Structure 1
């Protein structure tokens, strides 16, 4: 029987030991690989989000400088026309009901665009004059455009936004706001009448943010195989997202971010002064797939090493143990049949097999001498 073979008995402990080492090494390396993959994913996320945060910061700084310059020009040209005051009520397109006109010097500004257009002709961007009517601030002169290309006259300042809170405290606001669904880097300053302390309107200048470079960077970003990076605005609207990797559908991305499934790792970072949120996400299965691939490679290499070791061990056992033992076994068999003229080369070995060979050689010699004495009688 094969299981009673000396070779099998000698190889089985070696095989068991090698397999145990391979399994243990696979488990240890798989655990180490899992930690490495997670660390690399976190590092990639930090690197990409840090680059985007820097890009946002630089963009805001550059654009705010333009906003301050444009605001100085608007205020200078407005002051040159005359002191601000409240005019009579007028009707402006896009607004239900009458609105207080805004007068600079003796020139009504409602439904007129010379001032705002002259400023943007020099500085680009957009400009607006808001008139206060009750608790609302209404655009009575503007070159901010709606999606259809018409002027956004008659629209109101967001009553729940960060700007109106500052204006009601008689403070200016400079920063990023959402205007008609688009992010603008803006400046708002309260407008006062002569000797007045309550704002009758607002001076506004702003620049629609050009985020094409951000779009390019984000669209080329991803995390592992199926992860993504996405940018959401203050209203949780998905602005930009990765366009490489396995997850590129905006609807799926928005659902993942909104529901935060347990099998995804999701990281959120606020973008200071923008009201945006950077989201990085990847499925845990990506890490598991990497671990599985690495484990298979490690296991395959381990098995290959195991086979090589077994082959080497088998060859050594055959040449150093089994072959001499088989020869000595054959000699012993023939000796038991009365054949004693054998050449036993194994007597030169210095191990236990050599000891056995010398004992058999002595036995063979003793049998031969005994047989010689018997034959002489």
Structure 2
């Protein structure tokens, strides 16, 4: 600092001015980078919100398509039965580890009868299952659904948090 005092006043003013310019430019760089970062974050947030909205609409559309397809499949499956389905509360059939109430199409028991579910699977490429209410769950009494080992999923429970399609409910089966 002592050497600066020996310099001319013009040199000292130029040095002070240069220091001030450097400080101001540094401050501008810090401000501009912070401003730019906030702008970029706001733009990114806005774009992500737009994309989430698009995805939400796509998922709603996809859900509607799947629901319509499931309802159409349920109508097709119901068409495989030429008579009303009924629950025979007096009779049970061993289905897996469970004593399942018998579901009838006319006089014919559907429990462990794979004719309609296999015909549906062959015609549509989908799976068909007839469930019966079993305590607080639903039991598969006939199905075209296969387990990983290739055997049918008959005699397995749907899961307490799941509900089968209501499109083809048999009177009396929806109760407890």
TM range, normalised to the smaller chain?
0.7 to 0.9
How far apart are 1:63 and its partner, in Å? 2.0
Distance 2:111 2:19 in 1: 92
Is 1:100 paired with 2:101?
yes
Q: Residues 141 and 153 of structure 1 are in contact (CA less than 8 Å); yes or no, is this contact kept in structure 2?
A: yes
Is 1:5 paired with 2:3?
no
Is 1:191 paired with 2:170?
yes
How far apart are 1:2 and its partner, in Å? 4.6
Distance 1:139 1:83 in 2: 16
Equivalent residue, structure 2, for 1:145: 146
DSSP 3-state at the match of 1:32 = helix
How far apart are 1:45 and its partner, in Å? 1.9
Larger Rg: 1
TM-aligned CA distance change 1:54 to 1:145, over 3 Å: farther
Equivalent residue, structure 1, for 2:120: 119
TM-score, normalising length: structure 2: 0.81
TM-aligned CA distance change 1:134 to 1:62, over 3 Å: closer
Superposed structure 1 runs of 4+ greater than 4 Å apart? none
Aligned partner of 1:69 among 69, 72, 95: 72
DSSP 3-state at the match of 2:72 = helix
Deviations 1:67-97 (A, max 9, x none): 121111222222x04442326222223xx23
Distance 1:139 1:200 in 2: 14
DSSP 3-state at the match of 1:126 = coil
Equivalent residue, structure 2, for 1:175: none
TM-aligned CA distance change 1:145 to 1:49, over 3 Å: farther
How far apart are 1:25 and its partner, in Å? 0.5
Deviations 1:317-341 (A, max 9, x none): xxxxxxxxxxxxxxxxxxxxxxxxx
How many residues were matched structurally?
170
Q: Let me know the Cα RMSD of the aligned residues.
A: 2.5
Deviations 1:238-258 (A, max 9, x none): xxxxxxxxxxxxxxxxxxxxx
TM-aligned CA distance change 1:64 to 1:135, over 3 Å: closer
Equivalent residue, structure 1, for 2:52: 49
After TM superposition, the structure 1 = structure 2 runs for residues 136-285 of structure 1, keeping only pairs within 5 Å, are 136-161=137-162, 163=163, 187-189=165-167, 190-192=169-171, 198-199=172-173
Distance 2:114 2:76 in 1: 15
Structure 2 portions without partners, runs of 5+? none
After TM superposition, the structure 1 = structure 2 runs for residues 334-345 of structure 1, keeping only pairs within 5 Å, are none
Distance 1:9 1:75 in 2: 97
